[in-house]
Amino acid sequence: MRTIKKSVYYCDFCKKHSLRSLKKHEAHCTLNPRRSCGLCENKFDYPGLVNKLKFTTEEGEWPASHYKILAADLMDPVGGCPICALTILRLFMRSKSDDAWTFGTDFHFKDELQKWWDAENEEAARRDYGYEG
């Protein structure tokens, strides 16, 4: 019998782990407050944006509060980048993790990401192929 020892890499920020290095993942991880964005190529002050995030609170089912977060309030400060918006949302949720709460948002990450790529593709088609849609 033989045993093989392998290193398992763990992200410092989220629960992801892998047998391959997560250095690249960590640089862009949406729970890394100092991440840089691989999609919009910006680097925002995410903790600052989390502090400024507008939300409303409703009485939830006791003892939880119910936070309501609007997609526009996540998207506007980051120029509409869905991954940066997701970063704010995840960091916000983590900052509240000690309290009992639930939350609702009209931010739909996959839809927003799809819209982002649709717009990118259309722009590329215009630029590279003279597409006039």
Q: Which residues bind Zn ion (CB under 5 A)?
A: 11, 13-14, 16, 29, 37, 39-40, 81, 83-84
Separation between Cα atoms, residue 20 and residue 41, nearest integer Å:
24
Any idea what the Cα angle at residue 93 is, between residues 78 and 81, rounded to 5°? 20
Per the document, the length of the chain is 133
80 sits in the region (left: phi over 0; alpha: psi -120 to 50; else beta) called: left
Nearer of residues 11 and 70 to Zn ion, judged by Cβ: 11
Exposure string of 94-116, with b = 16+ CB inside 10 Å and e = fewer, is: eeeeeeeeebebebebeebbeeb
Q: Work out how close the CB of 70 gets to Zn ion at its nearest, in angstroms, rounded to a whole number.
A: 18
Nearer of residues 66 and 116 to Zn ion, judged by Cβ: 116
Q: Work out how close the CB of 66 gets to Zn ion at its nearest, in angstroms, rounded to a whole number.
A: 27
Nearer of residues 21 and 56 to Zn ion, judged by Cβ: 21
Nearer of residues 40 and 60 to Zn ion, judged by Cβ: 40
Q: Work out how close the CB of 124 gets to Zn ion at its nearest, in angstroms, rounded to a whole number.
A: 18
Q: Work out how close the CB of 53 gets to Zn ion at its nearest, in angstroms, rounded to a whole number.
A: 16
